[in-house]
Structure 1
Amino acid sequence: MRAEIFVPGGGAAPDGWDAFVRAGRAGVLWEEALLEAAAWASPRPYFAGLIRDAGEPVAAFCGRLGVFPLVRRFRPAGRAASPGWFQTRLPYSFSGGRLYGPQLGRTERRFAVRTFERALRRRLGARCVGVLHFAATAAELPDLAGPARLRRPIAPTTVLRTRWDSMDAYFAELPRGRRRRLTALYERVGDDPELVSVVAAPAIDPVRASRLDQLTRMKYTGRPEGVAPLPPGYFERLNERPGAAYFAHLEKGAGLPVSFDLVLDTPEGWMTTVTGAAGGVRDLYFDLYLREIEQLIVTGVPAVDFGPGMRAIKESFGGEPLARYAVVAPFAPW
């Protein structure tokens, strides 16, 4: 096996990159155009690698150098401000940045991981002190195991699995107090004369989405001044591609979003990622969950991954925690 390392936003992806990620139904965020757009907004440099075996793509990796930025400014693509850990992570999602072809068994996947790590060290040199494999499931841990590697649990993600045939059946399964509150919320927001609820729309106003995302992330971080906005071009590219949809509330007159949740197709069902909401109307975030659950039931999608964070709230909607781990692979000193 051999690895081809490239910098999203700083050079073209290797031949066959998009074809490989599409064949594996990896999700639209893996495509070169979306990796490039994500790199525009990141103060930390992203790198990606395609692994070939006998000339054919068999695995892909993506991540960023530096878990925490040490400077609050952008740098040229592929330039790091200081040495750090490389974190395998898909930009603006809760997923680890590792993708394997279906033909790879356990031994081959482990070899693909080592091939990427060696190529990454050659490319980054002393700037990279090791690899932090982020958001690994229990099933993936053997692929990442090895001498001198540390494994630690991280915040679980919350997955809601479709098991109802109607919203009435969904509400009926909830505890009485929770059922009454969510039913009232669902009806109140649905009947709001100033709002239009949008379900699985293929596109959204990119400028407004960029602003709502930035405001929401600023609200929930201790460093609001360090939140880099996702540029409108990121949403413009998502709007052009299948595999991404928006649940949203729009102003009835202007048609601009006042809240939204980006939902992506994955092999397991759906995954929520970027979200945003303006102030002024309460409970829109919770109503988006209910609209997504309703659409799960209607379409027969098996599950939705709501991501980590706010675990108690997400479990109150019927979600279940799914354990995730970080595996630390330090590099030996040069």
Structure 2
Amino acid sequence: MRVELHKGHGVEPPGWAAAVSAAGLHAAWAWPVLRARAGRRGVRALLRAEDGSVAGLAAWRGVPGATEVLCPASSVLPGVAADPGVWSEALRAVGGALGGAVLLRQLQEAHLPAVLRGPAVVRRGLSVAVFDNHFDSFDGYLAGLGKGRRNSLTTQLRRIDADPGLVCGFGRDALPEPAEVVGLVAATARRQRTGLLPAPSTGPALAAALLADPTTHWLTYRDRDGRLLACAYLLDHAEWPVLGSWGALAPEDGGRKHLWFHMLTACVRWCVAEGRAGVVMGKGSEQTKRTLGFRLRPQWTVLAHASALGR
């Protein structure tokens, strides 16, 4: 397998969109979305098999002392997109193109054997909440929750759905403006920030790219005057859609209580109706998400030498 390198902020390479479509990848791998997060050090790569066909995609950037391999538009997807059967070979090709220390983020348990072939530093990060869909209906999902959570959730959903001053949207209709998204996500990140690290952000370019992508669904909440109160986006996928950033006004600023719960259950309702395998619900609020019936999937960051990857 050989690696074809491209500057992340450059023009979309021939074959990139076709590769994303053929592999059924999330919109996080669409070139406009990747370009919005590229920066001057961002590199994107087509992984080609011996016959020249695309066998995978990869993304990385230079950081002090290492190369960071990650999917820049998602906090739950790794930086190498390849079928499980060729994962080790794809990782070996990436390692051969890089050299030196490599920091691999957002790895699942199945990815670890191919990156732990030599000395490595392994750190377990925040777990990712996952909704596993084995339900015939949304009512069946609710019936499986604990009594306390089921009763409180049902009450919250009923009140929000009956609010005449609230308009809820799901899909591609009445999309918000990039500036609206950026403002809400930034305000929410500041409220939830812990520790000394800067809060994650959704910049105008990324918001615009996700809004323009036809496979990305948007969940929006507006008041009767059209003011955006809350929003989130869902990266669609044939089996495992991924929930993206959430932004909402605080109630004291004109927002509504419990919209986060409504948004999560809207994703569940849609998933059940569409027959998807489940939804990857993202990080944070682990105990609350447990009460909503989601499982927690471990995720790791590994620092290793490029020469050991996939060997």
Q: TM-score, normalised by structure 2?
A: 0.87
Contact 1:92 1:273 in 2 (8 A): no
Tell me, yes or no, if the aligned pair for 2:98 and 2:306 is still in contact at 8 Å: no
Q: Which amino acid aligns with 2:242?
A: M
Partner residue, 1:62: 59
Deviations 1:152-182 (A, max 9, x none): 4332211111222333322222211111111
Who is 1:138 aligned against? 109
User: How far apart, in 1, do the equivalents of 2:300 and 2:228 lie?
Assistant: 35
Letter in 2 for 1:6: H
Residue 264 (structure 1) aligned to one of 218, 235, 240:
235
In 2, distance between residues paired with 1:148 and 1:13?
A: 36
Alignment partner, residue 211 of structure 1: 183
| Conserved? CA contact 1:38–1:230, under 8 Å | no
Corresponding residue of 1:89: 70
TM-superposed CA distance for 1:314, in Å, is: 1.0
The match for 1:253 is 225
Instruction: From 113, 122, 140, give the equivalent of 2:91.
Output: 113
Aligned counterparts of 1:331 and 1:113: Cα–Cα separation in 2 = 9
SS at match of 1:155: coil
| Cα distance between partner residues in 2 of 1:169 and 1:225 | 40
Give the residue type in structure 2 aligned to 1:113: L
Matches within 5 A, 1:188-203: 188-201=159-172, 203=175
Give the alignment of 1:44-63 within 5 angstroms. Answer: 45-54=41-50, 55-63=52-60
Query: Which amino acid in the other structure matches residue 246 of structure 1?
Result: W
- Cα RMSD between the aligned structures? 2.4
Which position in structure 2 is the counterpart of 1:71? none
After superposition, the Cα gap between the structure-2 partners of 1:38 and 1:155, relative to the gap in structure 1 and judged at 3 Å, is same
CA gap 1:160/1:29 in 2 versus in 1, 3 angstroms = same
Among 129, 132, 140, the residue aligned to 1:161: 132
Classify the secondary structure of the residue corresponding to 2:221: strand
Does the alignment pair 1:38 with 2:19? Answer: no
Q: Which has the higher contact order (CA 8 A, sep 6+)?
A: 2
2:267 matched residue in structure 1: 292
**Counterparts in 2 of 1:261 and 1:223: CA distance versus 1, 3 Å:** same
Checking the alignment, whether the CA contact within 8 Å between 2:128 and 2:282 is kept in structure 1 is yes
Cα offsets for 1:199-230 (capped at 9, x unmatched): 23353322201111111222222479955753
Equivalent position of 1:17 in the other structure: 16
Question: Distance in 1 between the 2:185 and 2:47 partners?
Answer: 33
Corresponding pairs, count: 300
With over 3 angstroms needed to count, the CA separation of the structure-2 counterparts of 1:267 and 1:86, relative to structure 1, is farther
Other structure's SS at 2:124 match: strand
Check 1:229–1:314 CA distance in 2 against 1; reply closer, same or farther (3 A cut): closer
Is it true that 1:240 corresponds to 2:239 in the alignment? no
Q: Residue 287 of structure 1: CA displacement?
A: 1.3
Q: 1:136 to 1:189 in 2, by over 3 A?
A: same
Aligned to 1:2: 2
Runs of 5+ in structure 2 lacking a partner?
none
Greater alpha carbon shift after TM alignment, 193-202 vs 280-289: 193-202
Q: Distance in 2 between matches of 1:249 and 1:273?
A: 16
Contiguous gaps of at least 5 residues in structure 1: 67-82, 122-128
- 1:267-278 to 2 correspondences below 5 Å: 267-278=238-249
Deviations 1:241-262 (A, max 9, x none): 22210112112222x3211111
What is the CA–CA distance in structure 2 between the aligned matches of 1:208 and 1:177, rounded to whole Å? 35
Q: In 2, distance between residues paired with 1:139 and 1:224?
A: 31
Q: How many Å apart are 1:39 and its aligned residue?
A: 2.9
Aligned-pair distance for 1:239?
Answer: 2.6
For the structure 1 residues 20 and 251, does the alpha-carbon distance in structure 2 shift closer, same or farther, using more than 3 Å as the test?
A: same
SS at match of 1:171: helix
TM-score (norm 1): 0.81
Measured after TM superposition, the shift of residue 34 of structure 1 is 0.9
* Segments ≥4 residues shifted beyond 4 Å: 222-229
Q: Following the alignment from structure 1 to structure 2, what is the Cα–Cα distance between the partners of residues 227 and 47?
A: 24
Q: Secondary structure at the match of 1:15?
A: coil
